[in-house]
Structure 1
Amino acid sequence: MSVRKELKQKGKQSLKKHYLIFAAVCLISAFLASEFKGSLTFSTLQSFDQVLEDPSEAMVPKRSVGWEEILEESPAFMRTKGVLSDVLNQATSDSILVTAAVSVNSLAGTENTEIFCLILAGAIGLFAFWFFIQNTFSVILRRIFLEGHTYERVPISRFLYLLRIKKWLRTSWIMLVKYLYHAFWSLTIIGGVIKHYSYFLVPYIAAENPDITARQAITLSRKMMKGHKWECFLFELSFLGWNLLGALTLGICSIFFTNPYKTAVFTEYYIRLRHAAKEAQLSNTDLLNDDYLYEKADPLILMEKYLDILDIMETPAPACPEIPGFRGFLARNLGILLFWGKQEKEYERFQGLQVKNRELSEALNGQVYPTRLYPIPQEKRRGQIESLHFMRQYTIWSLIVLFLGLSFLGWLWEVTLTLITDGEFINRGALNGPWLPIYGSGSILILTLLYRFRKNPLAEFFAAVLLCGFLEYLASLTLEITSGGMKWWDYSGYCLNLHGRTSAESLLVFGVGGLTVVYILAPLVDNLLHKADQKLLKFICLILLTLFCLDLVYSQVQPNAGEGISAMAETKNLLMQFRY
């Protein structure tokens, strides 16, 4: 059997063991535009009839429009013909460069100081999102695939791997340096292609050892890929058939098979090159020091590190504290705590310990990666991160904070995009205040109504898609009826849209966003709120909730409307086109 076939066979075996989390993490990566950017084609495709009816309304990728608007007045910068133009277009095709250029263009055309500051703040915020999330997620993705190579299960908490070891900033810097190196080399004729393969292993190296420096990671990748760049190119070329099938199915095949399959195979490829580099004793290969990613730890070592868990496993499990009456019904079925009294605290503490001990016992049994054997010390952060269990209950005050906070973040996101792309402040949404309730209400409904789905992330995802799709459709219909036919969003022309009120694109947003809220964001916020002064927290919640209710009543009489808000002809595709 050839090496290529052997690696593909191992990749299939790994994918078969962990299909759900592998497919999910690749879908999130595509959604964030971190990788697999063309896989969501089906969700933004306009219907054929719509294009025939009005070709001028056909979707145009946002990046093309952005560059044309910026450069159309400068003939010296026109890049429509010639080899150099093609190379420059390739070098500047990434969304962060387009975002930066559009931001500069908007700033240059703005005389109002307040708007200037808002655009600048929005641009900084989007860069921070790219730097910390979009740019870094490929490392998290590879960490999950590397653990899946050896272990029977990869827990959802692994999405917080970099936060656990306090190396998120360093990893983001590594990926930024790699991005800049590749961007500069792309300005040459063939340098971009060569360096693509020279730096091919950087995300894998950072996933194994985030404590490494950017220069060390890049240098080590170059050395490991020396003599293997052509081999890697041919290896990628062997997936051409799958890529074509993905294109023919508008990305559906890529989402559900090709992306996770290809990533699993190249994870095996990295493991093979790592082994060869270790045998050849290349310099700095000692930095590849997480051996438990590739072989399970000796049971005696595990018992020593997890001695406390061993004692718990040998002790009879205590009875679960009970919350009586209606309060207990809400806690068990909706994950809601009406009060934060002694019974509720004991119940929540018990649930947290159950989740924590279950994951740690799996590590002791060799089923998951033993986090206590990380090469990087993490003792100070272990307690905080391990307490981020998702099978928790939320107090009324936590739910209020999450509702208002996520409503504000949704509003801020849409306003920021409009600021950067159009250079003007537009208060998005039907309300007059700084909040879009559909973001907050969707998140709260996912946290409560779908509480019993949390143990199964796949079921949680599809349930969130259905629930939020229904909510978006109902909200659109209600607003249209109560406002005399006025629309605040319209997906007409999008593939798989339902009466223009919801679409496949928005459903993907809700599904991925819902998982992020349930498994990461909400537990983080809830932990912080439990540490806050409860009297002050309640006072602030009541003030903000009162303001929101007053705005809700006022907006029934004077809804927020106008160009760019309810007249959606110019902006209906803004959010959907931005990532592409």
Structure 2
Amino acid sequence: MKTRKQMKRLGRMSLKKHYVIFVAACLIAAFLASEFTSSLNFSTVQNYETTYDQVQSDLNGDSTYSIKTGVDSIGWGDVIRIIVEDNMQAGKEMSQEIRQNAIEDSENGNPMFGRTRGVLSNIVNQVSSGSIIVTAAAAIGSITGSDNLGILILIIIGALGLFIFWFLIQNTFPVVIRRVFLEGMIYDRVTTQRFVFLLRVKKWLKASWIMFVKYVYYSLWCLTLVGIVVKHYSYFLVPYIVAENPDMTAREAITLSRKMMKGHKWQCFVFELSFLGWEVLGALTLGIFNILYTNPYQVASFTRYYAELRAEAIEKGIPGSELLYDTYLYEKAESYVIAAKYPDVIKVIEEPEDTVEKLTGWRGFLARNFGVLLLRREQERAYERHQADYVRVHSMIDDVQREAYPVRLYPIPEEERRKLVQSLNYMRHYSIWSLITVFLSMSVFGWLWEVGMHLVAYGEFVNRGALHGPWLPIYGTGAVLILTVLNRFRRNPALEFGATIVVCGFLEYMTSLVMEIATGGTKWWDYSGYFLNLNGRICAEGLLVFGIGGLAIVYVIAPVIDDLVNRFNERKVMVICTVLMVAFLADAVYSQIHPNTGKGVTDIEEARGPDPAHQVSGKQIQA
């Protein structure tokens, strides 16, 4: 068995290779209060607790203390406390006053943090004031016929929700991060997808149950003084065992940990003690050093320790060790084994360059950088088919090259990676006619969306937008920009989401600015009063919908539209697109001289109404 010094050295090597994902795993665990929670003690929170008597006297007008002056100190926690004291009406009044004061402060403060209009503002107001709790308690009370019973049910529901969160997330996350660290021992690449390993093998609930049983056993042993220490080390390996094989029973996992730790408890204690100096350094830096180094270093070192105990258990033939069958966590598969499991991936990787002619010149430039194929000759079609095959196997290339854990070799079959997305071939290239179809389709969709929203809100039909036809070009323009300008981001949905928000936010802001300047100050939308808005031209919830809509366009909508376009005769598609684009351009030119204005379109101030919190803005949120 390796020495502590050797295992620590190997742990540091793993941490060096996977520093970012290892630190992220431990930091997430700390935020979830699953492990390492003491590392976050540096983020002290100022205590503004207000007593029940102060709040009651203020509501009764008997105190000079006011909720308005203490708006930062009183929140939903105080509202809950009053409700629990069987005073529903006082809680409701307090919640309403907190909400109103917050709205008034936002109107007098930075306009970016408006809280009078929009879905996000309403959510912020509901949560910060505690009115969401009051509403829920009142609703349950009206159903049961008793406020006390309603409050009791609300408490039970809250407690049940906390238990479910603990059972499924906090209780199970130690297994999740151990899997990440186990795969990082010998492999050069560990992606964020490995955080959902338990979901891929459909064993998340089973892992949660094993960890729950372990928690119950240890809690019972803690009733004895000896059990607190002894059973801590007896059950020490359970998260590692479950991370390797989550298909065991709770009894099997706990018993195996107990047998593997027999004779090693003192050794494990000393190993833990050897990190004391690092813990002290972490305390001196208010937990920051623990977050950035000590926590992942310790887990990486103990992952090596588990590997040593596992090898020893298998060598000695300890009963249950045969269940530790994930061999490829500890040694890389032979080439012939990989070849037998990944023939399709190898075929794409090893496909001779001359079988697929690469696009060169301006065609290659447009295809590589913007995902556009102006013509669809046989060469382009062959190139497209090759790209589709590459996308299908892209996520498994690292497996074949033995740089990442070979998921197809795991004894429990994993779910196919992103089946829907792969079948749609989101990395495809779009012809000019497909892009025009996408532009027109999304422009018409945007018009239907805004007309429909206005119809629901006000009960009247209004032709939305500056043009006279049934289209809003900002939607179509945003869709085309996402597909072309952000072509290189498609392989990474997270980057695609962020880039979509930036591009569409810039487009909406500049469109608003240019239209306002060109028309002498006429506004077609104004987000003033929305939470996190910028000069009333863009707002956070609109950008969030932009991001979500952008992902839908890139990975689902645009591929479906492109497939439909390719089914029809190309000449007919060209004729239809040309006619529609001529009509659109004619409308655009005419609207430059006679823009669509009037009630429900540019009457921003009137559209807000006397109660802005419940009105629809002059321009609905873009999708």
TM-score for both structures, normalised by structure 2? 0.52
| Structure 2 counterpart of 1:546 | none
Quote the offset at 1:283 in angstroms.
Answer: 0.4
| Residue 219 in structure 1 maps to residue 259 in structure 2 | no
User: Residue 167 of structure 1 aligns to which amino acid in structure 2?
Assistant: K
| Structure 2 counterpart of 1:543 | none
| Residue 250 in structure 1 maps to residue 291 in structure 2 | no
**Alignment equivalent of 2:401, drawn from 365, 370, 382:** 365
8 Å CA contact retained: 2:427, 2:490? no
| Structure 2 counterpart of 1:16 | 16
**Alignment equivalent of 2:297, drawn from 261, 268, 272:** 261
Quote the offset at 1:240 in angstroms.
Answer: 1.4
Cα distance in 1 for partners of 2:39, 2:258 equals: 29
Cα distance in 2 for partners of 1:385, 1:215 equals: 38
Structure 2, gaps ≥5 residues long: 48-69, 86-132, 145-149, 373-380, 429-434, 443-481, 510-525, 533-543, 565-599, 615-623
Quote the offset at 1:129 in angstroms.
Answer: 3.1
| Residue 280 in structure 1 maps to residue 316 in structure 2 | yes
| Structure 2 counterpart of 1:432 | none
527 and 385 in structure 1: CA distance in 2 versus 1, 3 angstrom threshold:
same
User: Residue 419 of structure 2 aligns to which amino acid in structure 1?
Assistant: Q
User: Residue 287 of structure 2 aligns to which amino acid in structure 1?
Assistant: G
| Superposed counterparts of 1:284-295, under 5 Å | 284-295=320-331
Structure 1, gaps ≥5 residues long: 48-55, 73-102, 337-344, 401-445, 475-481, 490-512, 536-548, 562-580
Quote the offset at 1:320 in angstroms.
Answer: 8.8
Say which SS state the counterpart of residue 404 (structure 2) adopts. Answer: coil
- Give a deviation string over 1:414-439, Cα, whole Å, max 9, x none: xxxxxxxxxxxxxxxxxxxxxxxxxx
| Structure 2 counterpart of 1:384 | 419
| Superposed counterparts of 1:41-190, under 5 Å | 41-46=41-46, 111-113=141-143, 120-121=156-157, 123-190=159-226
| Superposed counterparts of 1:118-517, under 5 Å | 120-121=156-157, 123-316=159-352, 318=356, 353-378=389-414, 381=416, 384=419, 387=422
Cα distance in 2 for partners of 1:487, 1:455 equals: 33
Quote the offset at 1:365 in angstroms.
Answer: 2.1
Cα distance in 2 for partners of 1:210, 1:313 equals: 33
Cα distance in 1 for partners of 2:613, 2:298 equals: 47
Quote the offset at 1:293 in angstroms.
Answer: 0.6
Cα distance in 2 for partners of 1:121, 1:390 equals: 43
8 Å CA contact retained: 2:341, 2:408? yes
Quote the offset at 1:295 in angstroms.
Answer: 0.6
488 and 300 in structure 1: CA distance in 2 versus 1, 3 angstrom threshold:
closer
Quote the offset at 1:449 in angstroms.
Answer: 10
Cα distance in 1 for partners of 2:382, 2:177 equals: 36
User: Residue 298 of structure 2 aligns to which amino acid in structure 1?
Assistant: K
Quote the offset at 1:32 in angstroms.
Answer: 2.1
- Give a deviation string over 1:345-374, Cα, whole Å, max 9, x none: 999997675354233232222111111111
Quote the offset at 1:377 in angstroms.
Answer: 3.2
8 Å CA contact retained: 1:450, 1:460? no
40 and 173 in structure 1: CA distance in 2 versus 1, 3 angstrom threshold:
same
Cα distance in 2 for partners of 1:118, 1:319 equals: 65
User: Residue 32 of structure 1 aligns to which amino acid in structure 2?
Assistant: L
Cα distance in 2 for partners of 1:235, 1:347 equals: 56
8 Å CA contact retained: 2:210, 2:249? yes
Say which SS state the counterpart of residue 188 (structure 2) adopts. Answer: coil
388 and 126 in structure 1: CA distance in 2 versus 1, 3 angstrom threshold:
farther
8 Å CA contact retained: 1:320, 1:350? no
Say which SS state the counterpart of residue 289 (structure 1) adopts. Answer: coil
Say which SS state the counterpart of residue 396 (structure 2) adopts. Answer: helix
Coordinate RMSD, CA, aligned = 6.2
Say which SS state the counterpart of residue 42 (structure 1) adopts. Answer: coil
Quote the offset at 1:233 in angstroms.
Answer: 1.6
| Structure 1 counterpart of 2:33 | 33
8 Å CA contact retained: 2:426, 2:559? no
Cα distance in 2 for partners of 1:350, 1:42 equals: 52
Quote the offset at 1:223 in angstroms.
Answer: 0.8
User: Residue 4 of structure 1 aligns to which amino acid in structure 2?
Assistant: R
User: Residue 406 of structure 2 aligns to which amino acid in structure 1?
Assistant: P
8 Å CA contact retained: 1:356, 1:389? no
388 and 35 in structure 1: CA distance in 2 versus 1, 3 angstrom threshold:
farther
Quote the offset at 1:179 in angstroms.
Answer: 2.0
Cα distance in 1 for partners of 2:214, 2:201 equals: 21
Cα distance in 2 for partners of 1:122, 1:296 equals: 47
- Give a deviation string over 1:424-465, Cα, whole Å, max 9, x none: xxxxxxxxxxxxxxxxxxxxxx999998678789x969x89x
TM-score for both structures, normalised by structure 1? 0.56
Cα distance in 1 for partners of 2:37, 2:320 equals: 33
299 and 347 in structure 1: CA distance in 2 versus 1, 3 angstrom threshold:
closer
Aligned residues: 431
Cα distance in 1 for partners of 2:285, 2:423 equals: 38
184 and 361 in structure 1: CA distance in 2 versus 1, 3 angstrom threshold:
same
8 Å CA contact retained: 1:167, 1:211? yes
Say which SS state the counterpart of residue 312 (structure 1) adopts. Answer: helix
- Give a deviation string over 1:504-532, Cα, whole Å, max 9, x none: xxxxxxxxx9xxx99xxx79x9679999x
3 and 70 in structure 1: CA distance in 2 versus 1, 3 angstrom threshold:
farther
User: Residue 229 of structure 2 aligns to which amino acid in structure 1?
Assistant: V
Quote the offset at 1:157 in angstroms.
Answer: 2.1
Say which SS state the counterpart of residue 150 (structure 1) adopts. Answer: coil
21 and 270 in structure 1: CA distance in 2 versus 1, 3 angstrom threshold:
same
Deviates more, 1:214-223 or 1:128-137: 128-137
21 and 224 in structure 1: CA distance in 2 versus 1, 3 angstrom threshold:
same
8 Å CA contact retained: 1:321, 1:350? no
Cα distance in 2 for partners of 1:195, 1:177 equals: 13
Cα distance in 2 for partners of 1:385, 1:280 equals: 46
User: Residue 187 of structure 2 aligns to which amino acid in structure 1?
Assistant: Y
Quote the offset at 1:313 in angstroms.
Answer: 1.8
8 Å CA contact retained: 1:46, 1:59? no
8 Å CA contact retained: 2:186, 2:330? yes
Quote the offset at 1:13 in angstroms.
Answer: 1.0
Cα distance in 2 for partners of 1:450, 1:31 equals: 32
Deviates more, 1:215-224 or 1:166-175: 166-175
| Structure 2 counterpart of 1:443 | none
Cα distance in 2 for partners of 1:127, 1:529 equals: 42
Quote the offset at 1:170 in angstroms.
Answer: 1.2
* Greater relative contact order structure (CA < 8 Å, 6+ sep): 1
Cα distance in 2 for partners of 1:6, 1:21 equals: 23
